[in-house]
């Protein structure tokens, strides 16, 4: 088995190892300190040099295969080798989302306060699931801060999660538990009868994690109801009302509608008040998936779209997207946290210590027991580094840049803007292409840009067509990066035409 560390520069520290050090090599205070300092110096240099480098770098197949091998030498390595390994084998090959010219998906760079806090939280190593500790109270506090920013009422509770997908899963499990408990079929033979009739509603533009979460809680595809969206990609409340009524007449049990705040493809915000009204009328739970756009109420320009957000039954937010908290940090916020406890509080004799009814352990609000304190501290540090105004200003920075990008696209006769906004996205296509080659061309253009390493964007399907999609979610992105991106698009299109021997896109 080849040694993973064999290619890596030799270690800096070479103590003769007494036997205990073979278990935890280099765990002596001085060695730990030196390595922490070396790591800190390396991290700050890495981050400052990132924008000048390539957005991404292709990996050799042998390199990838070696990382996948999982080999483990019988003798432990010295601590310094871990840093050497990261520096040589891992850090040069990110997916690109630290770079200011990275515009794919919704993938942020890490906020400095967050990444420092992750290190500190690792040292404390408290679990935020059981046993009272300072980090668990801090997590409760960060949940309240997020709720306040999102416009949810006082008393809102919730939990941090690994991301939006996990928050959506918790939300659907909570909605199901609330719905069946209210009908008196939370358990017993009626549970099976009712569960087999549950139907779930969401816009056709919703994130795939919603249908995945439904599958996880046992609501199969044939009882999912993707509702058509309007011309601005927002869920159509009349279509929702009609679908719910038809299902009710047919003997189904509509239990939950998921609205989306910031749809993944184009950044649209579903009509919250209208969806809440349908949900109230039909006795359904209203979950809002705001993984991208959940904090819109904190931004004056967006606030009108968020009227009524305080009336949703649950809200997903994803601080690792909009706030640049290091991955993975999502959250589920629930105005009446008692519903979370009904869904997730399972007691055990071996888990009691200082817990009170007024302050249940956070493991009783989620599926995790041992939970990392890194999320809470990284989120808290990032929020406090920004301050309330900083949160608003950060999101406004993204909105301003995306609006500028959309303007530049509109002004360019070679491009056509198809959609984008209010969240910071632009979906656009190249004009003057042969219709039967258009989808494939945009896929080739995106790949060419990705491989070029100067900018990075992805494709998405908008109204049945494959188009280019750029999303602004990096606090270091500037207008210069927008120009780099559009320059790369133009160059990739030219190169593609050269490749196919055509100059005007005609057959």
Considering only 50, 106, 116, 376, the residue that binds ligand PLP (CB under 6 A) is 106
330 binds ligand PLP (CB under 6 A): yes
Which of 178, 202 has the CB closer to ligand PLP? 202
Q: Under 8 Å CB-to-CB from 496, ≥6 apart: which residues? A: 441, 444, 445, 448
Number of residues that bind ligand PLP (CB under 6 A): 15
CA atoms of 310 and 307, how far apart (whole Å) = 8
- What is the contact mask toward ligand PLP in residues 180 to 219, using x (rule: CB under 6 A)? ---------------------------x-x----------
Q: Which two tokens stand for residue 243?
A: 């679908």
**H-helix segments, 151-220:** 164-183, 189-195, 208-216
- What is the contact mask toward ligand PLP in residues 430 to 449, using x (rule: CB under 6 A)? --------------------
CA atoms of 428 and 435, how far apart (whole Å) = 15
Inter-residue contact 202 to 258 (CB < 8 Å): yes
Q: Under 8 Å CB-to-CB from 91, ≥6 apart: which residues? A: 46
- What is the contact mask toward ligand PLP in residues 232 to 271, using x (rule: CB under 6 A)? ----------------------------x-x-x-------
Q: Taking the complex as a whole, how short is the minimal distance between the CB of residue 162 and ligand PLP, in angstroms?
A: 7
Which residues face 253 on adjacent strands?
198
CA atoms of 218 and 225, how far apart (whole Å) = 15
Considering only 163, 237, 254, 337, the residue that binds ligand PLP (CB under 6 A) is 163
- What is the contact mask toward ligand PLP in residues 46 to 75, using x (rule: CB under 6 A)? ------------------------------
Considering only 127, 156, 165, 382, the residue that binds ligand PLP (CB under 6 A) is 165
Which of 100, 290 has the CB closer to ligand PLP? 290
Inter-residue contact 159 to 382 (CB < 8 Å): no
291 binds ligand PLP (CB under 6 A): yes
CA atoms of 395 and 1, how far apart (whole Å) = 49
Considering only 318, 481, 488, 496, the residue that binds ligand PLP (CB under 6 A) is 318
DSSP state of 296: G
Q: Under 8 Å CB-to-CB from 77, ≥6 apart: which residues? A: 5, 11, 25
Of 27-35, 159-167, 173-181, 392-400, which part binds ligand PLP (CB under 6 A)?
159-167
CB atoms within 10 A of CB 476: 15
287 binds ligand PLP (CB under 6 A): no
Inter-residue contact 247 to 278 (CB < 8 Å): no
Which residue from 433, 420, 437 is spatially nearest to 494, judged by alpha carbons? 433
Which of 168, 366 has the CB closer to ligand PLP? 168
Considering only 98, 164, 254, 424, the residue that binds ligand PLP (CB under 6 A) is 164
Q: Taking the complex as a whole, how short is the minimal distance between the CB of residue 48 and ligand PLP, in angstroms?
A: 27
Question: Where does this chain bind ligand PLP (CB under 6 A)?
Answer: 106, 163-165, 168, 207, 209, 260, 262, 264, 289, 291-292, 318, 330
């Amino acid at each position: 088995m080849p040694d993973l560390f064999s290619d890596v520069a030799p270690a800096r520290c070479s103590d003769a190892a007494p036997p205990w050090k073979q278990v935890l090599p280099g765990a002596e205070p001085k060695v730990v300190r030196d390595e922490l300092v070396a790591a800190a110096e390396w991290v700050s240099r890495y981050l400052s040099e990132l924008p000048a480098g390539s957005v991404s770098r292709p990996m050799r197949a042998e390199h990838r295969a070696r990382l996948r091998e999982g080999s483990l030498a019988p003798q432990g390595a010295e601590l310094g080798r871990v840093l050497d390994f990261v520096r040589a084998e891992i850090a040069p090959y990110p997916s690109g989302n630290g770079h200011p010219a990275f515009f794919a998906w919704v993938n942020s760079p890490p906020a400095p306060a967050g990444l420092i806090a992750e290190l500190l939280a690792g040292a404390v190593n408290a679990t935020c699931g059981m046993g009272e500790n300072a980090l668990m109270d801090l997590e409760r506090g960060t949940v309240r801060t997020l709720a306040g920013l999102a416009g949810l009422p006082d008393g809102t509770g919730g939990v941090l999660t690994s991301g939006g997908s996990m928050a959506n899963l918790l939300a659907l499990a909570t909605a199901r538990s609330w719905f069946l408990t209210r009908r008196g079929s939370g358990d017993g033979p009626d549970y099976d009868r009712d569960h087999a009739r549950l139907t779930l509603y969401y816009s056709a533009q919703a994130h795939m994690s919603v249908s995945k979460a439904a599958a996880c809680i046992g609501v199969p595809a044939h009882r999912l109801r993707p509702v058509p969206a309007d011309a601005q990609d927002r869920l159509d409340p009349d279509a929702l009302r009609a679908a719910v009524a038809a299902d009710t007449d047919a003997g189904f049990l509509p239990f939950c509608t998921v609205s989306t705040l910031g749809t993944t493809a184009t950044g649209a915000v579903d009509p919250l008040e209208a969806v809440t009204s349908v949900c109230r009328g039909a006795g359904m739970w209203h979950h809002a998936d705001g993984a991208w756009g959940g904090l819109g109420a904190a931004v004056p320009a967006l606030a009108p779209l968020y009227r009524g957000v305080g009336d949703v039954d649950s809200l997903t937010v994803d601080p690792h997207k909009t706030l640049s908290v290091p991955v993975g940090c999502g959250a589920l916020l629930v105005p009446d946290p008692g519903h979370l406890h009904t869904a997730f509080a399972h007691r055990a004799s071996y888990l009691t210590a200082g817990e009170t009814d007024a302050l249940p352990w956070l493991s009783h609000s989620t599926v995790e027991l041992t939970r990392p304190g890194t999320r809470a501290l990284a989120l808290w540090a990032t929020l406090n580094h920004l301050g309330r105004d900083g949160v608003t200003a950060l999101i406004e920075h993204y909105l301003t840049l995306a609006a500028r990008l959309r303007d530049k696209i509109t002004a360019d006769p070679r491009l056509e803007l198809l959609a984008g906004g209010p969240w910071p996205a632009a979906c656009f296509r190249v004009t003057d292409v042969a219709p039967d080659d258009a989808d494939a061309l945009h896929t080739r253009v995106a790949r060419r840009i990705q491989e070029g390493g100067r900018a990075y964007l992805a494709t998405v399907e908008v109204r049945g067509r494959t188009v280019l999609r750029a999303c602004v979610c990096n606090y270091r992105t500037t207008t210069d990066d927008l120009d780099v991106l559009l320059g790369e698009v133009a160059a990739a299109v030219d190169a593609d035409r050269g490749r196919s021997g055509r100059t005007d896109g005609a057959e």
